[in-house]
Amino acid sequence: MPSKQILVGIVGVGLVGSELVSQILSIPAARNPFKIVFLASSTKVLYAPVVDADPAKWKAALAASTEAVDLKALGGYLRTLVAQQQGQGEGVEGRAVIVDNTSAEGVAGMYAEWIGQGVSVVTPNKKGFSGDRGVWEGILRAAEGEGAGRWLNESTVGAGLPVVNTLREMVGSGDRVRKIEGVFSGTMSYIFNEWSGVPSGKGEGEGGGRKKFSDVVRVAREKGYTEPHPADDLNGADVARKLTILARTIGACAVGETAGVPVLGSYRDVQTQSLIPKALEGEGSGDVFVSRLGEFDEEFERLREEAEREGCVLRFVGVVDVENGVVKAGLEKYPVSHPFATSLGGSDNIIMFHTERYSPRPLIVQGAGAGAAVTAMGVLGDLLKLV
Protein backbone atom coordinates (compact mmCIF):
# COMPACT_ATOMS: atom_id res chain seq x y z
CA MET A 1 0.00 0.00 0.00
CA PRO A 2 1.16 3.59 -0.59
CA SER A 3 2.68 5.25 2.48
CA LYS A 4 0.08 8.03 2.39
CA GLN A 5 -3.50 6.82 2.57
CA ILE A 6 -6.16 9.36 1.69
CA LEU A 7 -9.62 8.98 3.17
CA VAL A 8 -12.32 9.83 0.64
CA GLY A 9 -15.92 10.73 1.35
CA ILE A 10 -18.19 10.91 -1.68
CA VAL A 11 -21.32 13.07 -1.80
CA GLY A 12 -23.44 12.39 -4.87
CA VAL A 13 -23.54 8.88 -6.30
CA GLY A 14 -25.39 9.40 -9.58
CA LEU A 15 -23.78 8.92 -13.00
CA VAL A 16 -20.54 10.75 -12.20
CA GLY A 17 -20.32 9.51 -8.61
CA SER A 18 -20.86 5.89 -9.60
CA GLU A 19 -18.30 6.16 -12.37
CA LEU A 20 -15.82 7.72 -9.95
CA VAL A 21 -16.20 4.82 -7.53
CA SER A 22 -15.52 2.40 -10.40
CA GLN A 23 -12.43 4.33 -11.48
CA ILE A 24 -11.05 4.43 -7.93
CA LEU A 25 -11.58 0.69 -7.59
CA SER A 26 -9.81 0.12 -10.92
CA ILE A 27 -6.50 1.28 -9.41
CA PRO A 28 -4.52 -1.83 -8.39
CA ALA A 29 -4.74 -2.35 -4.64
CA ALA A 30 -0.95 -2.40 -4.23
CA ARG A 31 -0.71 1.25 -5.29
CA ASN A 32 -4.20 2.56 -4.57
CA PRO A 33 -3.88 5.41 -2.02
CA PHE A 34 -7.61 5.97 -1.65
CA LYS A 35 -9.99 4.51 0.92
CA ILE A 36 -13.66 5.36 0.51
CA VAL A 37 -15.01 5.94 4.01
CA PHE A 38 -18.52 7.18 3.28
CA LEU A 39 -21.02 7.44 0.46
CA ALA A 40 -23.84 9.95 0.60
CA SER A 41 -26.92 10.67 -1.48
CA SER A 42 -29.09 13.74 -1.07
CA THR A 43 -30.84 12.13 1.91
CA LYS A 44 -28.76 9.23 3.28
CA VAL A 45 -25.18 8.43 4.18
CA LEU A 46 -23.45 5.07 4.44
CA TYR A 47 -20.42 5.16 6.74
CA ALA A 48 -17.60 2.63 6.40
CA PRO A 49 -19.09 1.17 3.23
CA VAL A 50 -18.02 -2.12 1.75
CA VAL A 51 -17.43 -0.87 -1.78
CA ASP A 52 -17.76 -3.76 -4.18
CA ALA A 53 -16.92 -3.65 -7.88
CA ASP A 54 -20.59 -4.42 -8.44
CA PRO A 55 -22.26 -1.02 -7.93
CA ALA A 56 -25.64 -2.64 -7.31
CA LYS A 57 -24.36 -3.94 -3.97
CA TRP A 58 -23.13 -0.67 -2.47
CA LYS A 59 -26.09 1.22 -3.92
CA ALA A 60 -28.45 -1.23 -2.22
CA ALA A 61 -26.57 -0.81 1.06
CA LEU A 62 -26.81 2.98 0.78
CA ALA A 63 -30.51 2.79 -0.01
CA ALA A 64 -31.03 0.62 3.08
CA SER A 65 -29.11 2.97 5.37
CA THR A 66 -31.11 4.61 8.15
CA GLU A 67 -28.50 7.34 8.71
CA ALA A 68 -29.67 10.74 7.44
CA VAL A 69 -26.99 12.79 5.72
CA ASP A 70 -25.71 15.71 7.82
CA LEU A 71 -23.35 17.83 5.73
CA LYS A 72 -21.96 19.65 8.76
CA ALA A 73 -20.98 16.36 10.39
CA LEU A 74 -19.05 14.96 7.43
CA GLY A 75 -15.92 17.03 7.93
CA GLY A 76 -15.74 16.14 11.61
CA TYR A 77 -16.19 12.46 10.79
CA LEU A 78 -13.18 12.55 8.48
CA ARG A 79 -11.08 14.46 11.04
CA THR A 80 -11.86 11.80 13.65
CA LEU A 81 -10.84 8.98 11.32
CA VAL A 82 -7.56 10.65 10.44
CA ALA A 83 -6.82 11.34 14.11
CA GLN A 84 -7.40 7.68 14.91
CA GLN A 85 -4.92 6.70 12.22
CA GLN A 86 -2.23 9.28 13.00
CA GLY A 87 -2.58 9.85 16.71
CA GLN A 88 -4.25 12.77 18.44
CA GLY A 89 -2.96 16.26 17.72
CA GLU A 90 -1.72 15.73 14.17
CA GLY A 91 -3.25 17.64 11.27
CA VAL A 92 -5.58 16.13 8.69
CA GLU A 93 -4.58 18.29 5.75
CA GLY A 94 -3.83 16.25 2.65
CA ARG A 95 -5.17 13.07 4.19
CA ALA A 96 -8.93 13.57 3.95
CA VAL A 97 -11.06 14.77 1.08
CA ILE A 98 -14.73 15.20 0.31
CA VAL A 99 -15.77 14.75 -3.30
CA ASP A 100 -18.93 16.63 -4.21
CA ASN A 101 -20.46 15.15 -7.37
CA THR A 102 -23.71 17.07 -6.98
CA SER A 103 -24.81 20.35 -8.51
CA ALA A 104 -26.31 21.48 -5.21
CA GLU A 105 -25.83 24.98 -3.81
CA GLY A 106 -26.19 23.66 -0.27
CA VAL A 107 -23.26 21.28 -0.63
CA ALA A 108 -21.12 23.98 -2.25
CA GLY A 109 -21.93 26.23 0.68
CA MET A 110 -20.05 23.80 2.96
CA TYR A 111 -16.71 23.99 1.14
CA ALA A 112 -15.24 26.79 3.25
CA GLU A 113 -16.09 25.00 6.48
CA TRP A 114 -14.65 21.68 5.31
CA ILE A 115 -11.48 23.31 3.96
CA GLY A 116 -11.06 25.21 7.22
CA GLN A 117 -11.20 21.87 9.05
CA GLY A 118 -8.25 20.63 6.97
CA VAL A 119 -10.42 18.54 4.65
CA SER A 120 -9.78 19.06 0.95
CA VAL A 121 -12.62 19.44 -1.54
CA VAL A 122 -12.62 17.98 -5.04
CA THR A 123 -15.64 18.64 -7.21
CA PRO A 124 -17.22 19.13 -10.64
CA ASN A 125 -19.92 21.27 -8.97
CA LYS A 126 -19.71 24.79 -10.43
CA LYS A 127 -21.95 26.45 -7.86
CA GLY A 128 -19.36 27.31 -5.20
CA PHE A 129 -16.93 28.85 -7.68
CA SER A 130 -19.34 30.73 -9.93
CA GLY A 131 -22.14 31.89 -7.63
CA ASP A 132 -22.21 34.60 -5.00
CA ARG A 133 -18.85 36.30 -4.60
CA GLY A 134 -19.06 35.99 -0.83
CA VAL A 135 -19.11 32.19 -1.05
CA TRP A 136 -16.11 32.23 -3.38
CA GLU A 137 -14.12 34.58 -1.15
CA GLY A 138 -14.99 32.43 1.85
CA ILE A 139 -13.40 29.43 0.11
CA LEU A 140 -10.25 31.44 -0.61
CA ARG A 141 -9.99 32.68 2.99
CA ALA A 142 -10.48 29.19 4.37
CA ALA A 143 -7.76 27.79 2.10
CA GLU A 144 -5.26 30.36 3.43
CA GLY A 145 -5.63 29.21 7.03
CA GLU A 146 -3.05 27.12 8.84
CA GLY A 147 -3.63 23.42 8.26
CA ALA A 148 -6.33 24.12 5.68
CA GLY A 149 -7.44 21.70 3.02
CA ARG A 150 -7.18 22.37 -0.70
CA TRP A 151 -9.85 23.02 -3.32
CA LEU A 152 -9.48 21.28 -6.68
CA ASN A 153 -12.07 21.86 -9.39
CA GLU A 154 -10.59 20.83 -12.73
CA SER A 155 -13.80 19.16 -13.86
CA THR A 156 -15.94 22.29 -13.38
CA VAL A 157 -14.79 23.44 -16.86
CA GLY A 158 -14.40 20.99 -19.73
CA ALA A 159 -15.06 17.82 -17.69
CA GLY A 160 -11.77 15.89 -17.88
CA LEU A 161 -9.97 18.35 -20.16
CA PRO A 162 -6.90 20.08 -18.64
CA VAL A 163 -8.37 23.57 -18.59
CA VAL A 164 -8.44 24.87 -15.00
CA ASN A 165 -5.11 23.36 -13.99
CA THR A 166 -3.49 24.61 -17.20
CA LEU A 167 -4.72 28.11 -16.38
CA ARG A 168 -3.51 27.83 -12.78
CA GLU A 169 -0.03 26.83 -13.92
CA MET A 170 0.09 29.60 -16.50
CA VAL A 171 -0.76 32.45 -14.19
CA GLY A 172 0.98 30.88 -11.20
CA SER A 173 4.23 30.79 -13.17
CA GLY A 174 3.92 34.46 -14.13
CA ASP A 175 2.32 34.26 -17.56
CA ARG A 176 -0.22 37.00 -18.26
CA VAL A 177 -3.53 36.04 -19.81
CA ARG A 178 -4.78 38.33 -22.54
CA LYS A 179 -7.88 36.42 -23.58
CA ILE A 180 -9.50 33.03 -23.21
CA GLU A 181 -12.11 32.05 -25.78
CA GLY A 182 -13.81 28.78 -26.47
CA VAL A 183 -16.77 26.53 -27.01
CA PHE A 184 -17.38 25.53 -23.40
CA SER A 185 -20.73 23.76 -23.63
CA GLY A 186 -20.88 20.23 -24.99
CA THR A 187 -24.59 20.75 -25.63
CA MET A 188 -24.09 23.97 -27.58
CA SER A 189 -21.17 22.42 -29.42
CA TYR A 190 -23.30 19.53 -30.64
CA ILE A 191 -26.19 21.78 -31.63
CA PHE A 192 -24.10 24.19 -33.67
CA ASN A 193 -21.86 21.51 -35.19
CA GLU A 194 -25.02 19.88 -36.50
CA TRP A 195 -26.91 23.01 -37.47
CA SER A 196 -24.23 25.46 -38.59
CA GLY A 197 -21.42 23.21 -39.70
CA VAL A 198 -18.82 23.78 -42.39
CA PRO A 199 -20.55 23.35 -45.81
CA SER A 200 -19.57 20.07 -47.42
CA GLY A 201 -21.24 20.58 -50.78
CA LYS A 202 -23.36 17.49 -50.20
CA GLY A 203 -26.20 19.12 -48.34
CA GLU A 204 -27.05 18.85 -44.68
CA GLY A 205 -28.93 16.04 -43.08
CA GLU A 206 -30.36 12.94 -44.70
CA GLY A 207 -31.50 13.48 -48.25
CA GLY A 208 -29.46 16.66 -48.52
CA GLY A 209 -32.07 18.80 -46.71
CA ARG A 210 -31.02 21.63 -44.40
CA LYS A 211 -31.57 20.89 -40.76
CA LYS A 212 -33.93 23.08 -38.78
CA PHE A 213 -32.72 24.48 -35.49
CA SER A 214 -35.67 23.02 -33.58
CA ASP A 215 -35.02 19.55 -35.03
CA VAL A 216 -31.37 19.64 -33.98
CA VAL A 217 -32.35 20.65 -30.44
CA ARG A 218 -34.99 17.91 -30.33
CA VAL A 219 -32.49 15.23 -31.42
CA ALA A 220 -29.90 16.56 -28.96
CA ARG A 221 -32.46 16.18 -26.18
CA GLU A 222 -33.37 12.66 -27.29
CA LYS A 223 -29.68 11.70 -27.22
CA GLY A 224 -29.31 13.09 -23.72
CA TYR A 225 -26.98 15.93 -24.71
CA THR A 226 -29.28 18.61 -23.28
CA GLU A 227 -30.83 19.03 -19.87
CA PRO A 228 -34.37 17.61 -19.61
CA HIS A 229 -35.49 21.19 -20.26
CA PRO A 230 -33.35 22.48 -23.17
CA ALA A 231 -33.90 26.07 -22.05
CA ASP A 232 -31.42 25.32 -19.24
CA ASP A 233 -28.78 25.00 -21.96
CA LEU A 234 -30.01 27.59 -24.43
CA ASN A 235 -30.05 30.35 -21.80
CA GLY A 236 -26.23 30.30 -21.73
CA ALA A 237 -26.01 30.13 -17.93
CA ASP A 238 -23.79 27.04 -17.95
CA VAL A 239 -21.21 28.82 -20.12
CA ALA A 240 -21.46 31.94 -17.96
CA ARG A 241 -20.66 29.87 -14.87
CA LYS A 242 -17.58 28.37 -16.52
CA LEU A 243 -16.35 31.79 -17.61
CA THR A 244 -16.79 33.06 -14.06
CA ILE A 245 -14.69 30.18 -12.76
CA LEU A 246 -11.90 30.98 -15.23
CA ALA A 247 -11.94 34.70 -14.50
CA ARG A 248 -11.84 34.06 -10.76
CA THR A 249 -9.06 31.49 -11.15
CA ILE A 250 -6.90 34.10 -12.88
CA GLY A 251 -7.40 36.51 -10.00
CA ALA A 252 -6.82 33.89 -7.32
CA CYS A 253 -3.70 32.27 -8.80
CA ALA A 254 -1.92 35.10 -10.62
CA VAL A 255 1.52 36.17 -9.50
CA GLY A 256 1.78 39.91 -8.91
CA GLU A 257 -0.44 42.44 -10.68
CA THR A 258 -4.00 41.35 -11.53
CA ALA A 259 -5.26 44.67 -12.95
CA GLY A 260 -7.73 44.12 -15.74
CA VAL A 261 -9.02 40.79 -14.47
CA PRO A 262 -12.81 41.18 -14.35
CA VAL A 263 -14.29 41.03 -10.84
CA LEU A 264 -17.63 39.26 -10.99
CA GLY A 265 -20.25 39.28 -8.26
CA SER A 266 -21.61 36.05 -9.72
CA TYR A 267 -22.09 34.37 -13.08
CA ARG A 268 -25.09 36.65 -13.59
CA ASP A 269 -22.63 39.50 -14.22
CA VAL A 270 -21.42 37.81 -17.40
CA GLN A 271 -22.80 39.42 -20.57
CA THR A 272 -24.82 36.42 -21.70
CA GLN A 273 -26.90 36.04 -24.85
CA SER A 274 -29.86 33.75 -24.35
CA LEU A 275 -31.10 31.74 -27.33
CA ILE A 276 -34.53 31.25 -25.81
CA PRO A 277 -37.19 32.97 -27.93
CA LYS A 278 -38.97 35.62 -25.87
CA ALA A 279 -42.31 33.91 -26.34
CA LEU A 280 -40.93 30.76 -24.70
CA GLU A 281 -39.24 32.43 -21.74
CA GLY A 282 -40.73 31.01 -18.57
CA GLU A 283 -42.17 27.93 -20.27
CA GLY A 284 -41.93 25.33 -17.53
CA SER A 285 -42.41 22.19 -19.59
CA GLY A 286 -39.47 20.86 -21.55
CA ASP A 287 -41.83 18.92 -23.82
CA VAL A 288 -43.89 22.01 -24.64
CA PHE A 289 -40.73 24.06 -25.15
CA VAL A 290 -39.38 21.60 -27.73
CA SER A 291 -42.73 21.25 -29.48
CA ARG A 292 -43.03 25.04 -29.90
CA LEU A 293 -39.41 25.82 -30.76
CA GLY A 294 -40.15 25.14 -34.43
CA GLU A 295 -42.28 28.30 -34.51
CA PHE A 296 -39.00 30.25 -34.44
CA ASP A 297 -36.97 28.31 -37.00
CA GLU A 298 -37.18 31.16 -39.51
CA GLU A 299 -35.55 33.55 -37.05
CA PHE A 300 -32.66 31.14 -36.49
CA GLU A 301 -32.39 30.46 -40.21
CA ARG A 302 -31.85 34.15 -40.90
CA LEU A 303 -28.90 34.13 -38.51
CA ARG A 304 -27.40 31.12 -40.27
CA GLU A 305 -27.87 32.61 -43.72
CA GLU A 306 -26.26 35.88 -42.65
CA ALA A 307 -23.20 34.00 -41.37
CA GLU A 308 -22.97 31.92 -44.54
CA ARG A 309 -23.03 35.02 -46.75
CA GLU A 310 -19.93 36.15 -44.87
CA GLY A 311 -18.24 32.77 -45.30
CA CYS A 312 -18.72 31.94 -41.63
CA VAL A 313 -20.36 29.50 -39.26
CA LEU A 314 -22.09 30.25 -35.98
CA ARG A 315 -20.73 29.04 -32.66
CA PHE A 316 -21.87 29.70 -29.11
CA VAL A 317 -18.66 30.98 -27.58
CA GLY A 318 -17.49 32.18 -24.20
CA VAL A 319 -14.81 34.86 -23.84
CA VAL A 320 -12.76 36.15 -20.91
CA ASP A 321 -11.10 39.25 -22.36
CA VAL A 322 -8.68 40.43 -19.69
CA GLU A 323 -7.21 43.25 -21.75
CA ASN A 324 -10.61 44.86 -22.17
CA GLY A 325 -12.16 43.71 -18.89
CA VAL A 326 -15.02 41.88 -20.63
CA VAL A 327 -16.58 38.48 -19.92
CA LYS A 328 -19.28 37.43 -22.37
CA ALA A 329 -21.09 34.43 -23.80
CA GLY A 330 -23.09 34.33 -26.99
CA LEU A 331 -23.25 33.64 -30.71
CA GLU A 332 -20.18 34.56 -32.74
CA LYS A 333 -19.31 34.15 -36.42
CA TYR A 334 -16.12 32.35 -37.37
CA PRO A 335 -14.60 31.82 -40.84
CA VAL A 336 -15.02 28.29 -42.15
CA SER A 337 -11.24 27.86 -41.87
CA HIS A 338 -11.13 28.71 -38.15
CA PRO A 339 -10.48 25.86 -35.65
CA PHE A 340 -13.86 26.56 -34.04
CA ALA A 341 -15.38 25.68 -37.42
CA THR A 342 -13.18 22.82 -38.57
CA SER A 343 -11.93 21.04 -35.46
CA LEU A 344 -15.08 20.30 -33.52
CA GLY A 345 -17.17 17.17 -33.65
CA GLY A 346 -20.03 15.87 -31.57
CA SER A 347 -20.06 17.50 -28.14
CA ASP A 348 -16.39 18.53 -28.12
CA ASN A 349 -15.13 21.55 -26.23
CA ILE A 350 -12.31 23.70 -27.55
CA ILE A 351 -10.54 26.43 -25.58
CA MET A 352 -7.89 28.90 -26.74
CA PHE A 353 -5.52 30.58 -24.29
CA HIS A 354 -4.05 33.81 -25.62
CA THR A 355 -1.23 34.83 -23.27
CA GLU A 356 2.07 36.68 -23.35
CA ARG A 357 3.94 33.40 -23.69
CA TYR A 358 1.45 31.78 -26.04
CA SER A 359 1.45 34.52 -28.65
CA PRO A 360 0.80 35.02 -31.48
CA ARG A 361 -0.30 31.37 -31.62
CA PRO A 362 -2.60 30.42 -28.72
CA LEU A 363 -2.49 27.26 -26.67
CA ILE A 364 -5.47 25.10 -27.67
CA VAL A 365 -7.14 22.45 -25.52
CA GLN A 366 -9.74 20.30 -27.25
CA GLY A 367 -11.68 17.12 -26.67
CA ALA A 368 -14.79 15.60 -25.14
CA GLY A 369 -16.24 18.17 -22.75
CA ALA A 370 -19.13 16.19 -21.32
CA GLY A 371 -19.99 12.72 -20.11
CA ALA A 372 -19.76 10.76 -16.88
CA ALA A 373 -16.56 8.91 -17.75
CA VAL A 374 -14.45 11.95 -18.64
CA THR A 375 -15.93 14.05 -15.81
CA ALA A 376 -15.10 11.33 -13.27
CA MET A 377 -11.63 11.10 -14.80
CA GLY A 378 -11.16 14.82 -14.14
CA VAL A 379 -12.25 14.31 -10.54
CA LEU A 380 -9.90 11.36 -10.08
CA GLY A 381 -7.09 13.39 -11.61
CA ASP A 382 -7.63 16.03 -8.92
CA LEU A 383 -7.63 13.35 -6.23
CA LEU A 384 -4.28 12.10 -7.51
CA LYS A 385 -2.85 15.59 -7.02
CA LEU A 386 -3.34 15.07 -3.27
CA VAL A 387 -1.14 11.98 -3.19
Judge whether 288 is annotated as a binding position.
no
Q: What is the pLDDT of residue 346?
A: 86
Q: What is the mean pLDDT of residues 223-249?
A: 95
Distance CA 133, CA 145 (A): 19
HSE, CB side, 13 Å, CA atoms: give it for residue 271.
Answer: 11
Q: What is the pLDDT of residues 73-106, one digit of tens each?
A: 999 999 999 988 876 545 555 599 999 999 999 9
Distance CA 279, CA 299 (A): 13
Q: What is the pLDDT of residue 207?
A: 40
- Cβ atoms of 187 and 159 within 8 Å: the answer is no
Phi, psi of 340 (to 5 degrees): -65, -20
Bond prior to 360 in cis (omega within 30° of 0): yes
Judge whether 251 is annotated as a binding position.
no
Grade residue 364 by pLDDT with cuts at 50, 70 and 90: very high
* Angle between helix 297-309 and helix 213-222 axes, rounded to 10 deg: 110
Q: Which of 87-96, 146-155, 194-203, 318-327 has the lowest mean pLDDT?
A: 87-96
Judge whether 106 is annotated as a binding position.
no
Catalytic annotation, residues: 242
pTM of the model: 0.93
Query: Helices in 235-352 by DSSP H: which ranges?
Result: 237-253, 286-293, 297-309, 339-342
Comparison of pLDDT for 178 and 258, the residue scoring more: 178
Q: What is the pLDDT of residues 9-26, one digit of tens each?
A: 999 999 999 999 999 999
Judge whether 17 is annotated as a binding position.
yes
